[in-house]
A = this chain, B = another copy of it.
Amino acid sequence: MVKPRLLTPGPVAVPERVARAMTRPIIHHRSSEFVELFKGIRADLQYAFQTQQEVCILACSGTGAMEAALCNLLSPRDRVVVVRGGKFGDRWAELCTTFGVDPICIDVEWGRAVDPADVRKAFDHHPDAKGLLVQASETSTGVFHPVRALAQVVHMQPDRLLIVDAISAVAVHELRMDEWGIDALISASQKALSLPPGLGFVALSSLAQAALSRSRLPKYYFDLARVLETQRRNQTPFTPPISLLYGLAESLKMIVEEGIDRRVQRHEVMARVVRGALSAMGLELLVNDSHSFACTAVRVPDGIDGKVVQRRILEDHGIRLAGGQGRLKGKILRMGHLGDLDVLDMIAAISAIETALAALGYPVKLGEGVRAATELNHELGFRGDSA
């Protein structure tokens, strides 16, 4: 028997108790039971998003939530600075072009974090720019962009907006939206919330909420002013995905139980253990400076086909990793460590990667990876409730 293990950076495995919650009988969304369910979700979402603001819940994928943020906060011919350092940075630029917003792109090498000084320069050259579009965690490379420092640059001018795709960063990284000055914090269900895909989220600062009425881009399904107004009455403008909301309530309960700080710490430890182990195996990490706690990208050794390694790990060990996207296709493997996973899951995966590489003739010293991982875990001292 080979047990299937999904270790891609989204979608992720859904915990049993969340999966079970989703099978509860469907209720009508204009009922008092729905109001009770929704009230609890709204409060727990604020905790998970580390904000006092209302978190808009949308029935869509993460891209839908990105589009919603853009179409509600900007207008045609607005200029915005865009950090383009991966596939999802590209997506911001494409969204701008599609909706007639003018993107000033800062092209960052895939695998590097943006330098806040470059963002400052872009704003100096374009003082009319309305804000910054960036990823917190760029899932295609495993980079974490320095959101806090970027917030300072953006808010050197009072009305500029910081719009952050934190799809794989919410409930993974520390992101103090209110304190740091993030104006739109975007996420989705299939990452650290450990739900199936199908829900998108956008939290808006007071500054962003004030900007809603100025935006001249048309929106109906994604009208966030309407979403905000409706949610405050514990309702949604359109029929909400009830079963996913059941799951969301349960998964948020798990986040509350774990505690957000501890949860961030767990993700950090997983990321550090994985990085240490891969390095100990002699593999080269894609990201050296500012790495995401959501996933780790490792370069495929020269002379080895990324697809072949990936398939070997899947077929022999049941572990599904992700490959590279866009220009990194075939060149990297990405291992997700977000959601309902712990360090021991990482160590098991490292063992599988070692074995698969050895089987393919790569000169790996079997056991170096898992030894390094075990040592690191011991050193970092993260051990569930006894810590």
- Taking Cβ atoms with an 8 Å cutoff, the residues of A that contact B are 4, 6, 8, 10-14, 19-20, 22-23, 25-31, 59-64, 67, 94-95, 98-100, 188, 190, 196-198, 218-221, 237-244, 320, 322
Which residue from B22, B28, B244 sits with its C-beta under 8 Å from A320?
Answer: B28
A378 CA to B252 CA, complexed, in Å? 51
Taking CB as reference atom, which chain B residue is nearest A30?
B322
In contact, B12 and A218 (Cβ under 8 angstroms):
no
Whether A240 pairs with B99 at a CB distance below 8 angstroms is no
Q: Which of B14, B23, B95, B218 contacts A26 (CB 8 A)?
A: B14
CB atoms of A239 and B98 under 8 A apart: no
- CB contact between A60 and one of B23, B60, B95 (< 8 Å): that residue: B60
- A30 vs chain B, min Cβ distance (A): 8
Of residues A22, A98, A100, A322, which shows the largest number of chain B Cβ atoms within 10 Å of its Cβ?
A22
- Copies of this subunit: 2
A157 → chain B closest CB, angstroms = 27
Partner of A243, one of B27, B198, B221, B240: B198
The answer to whether B62 and A60 touch across the interface, beta carbons within 8 angstroms, is: no
A14 in complex: contacting residue of B13, B60, B95, B243, CB < 8 Å: B243
CB-based nearest B residue for A188: B239
Provide the bound-state CA to CA distance between A60 and B67, in Å: 13
A-B contacts besides A61-B221, A99-B218, 5 pairs, CB < 8 Å: A11-B28, A61-B241, A67-B221, A98-B220, A190-B239
In whole angstroms, what is the CA distance A241 to B11 when docked? 9
Shortest Cβ gap from A22 to chain B (Å):
6
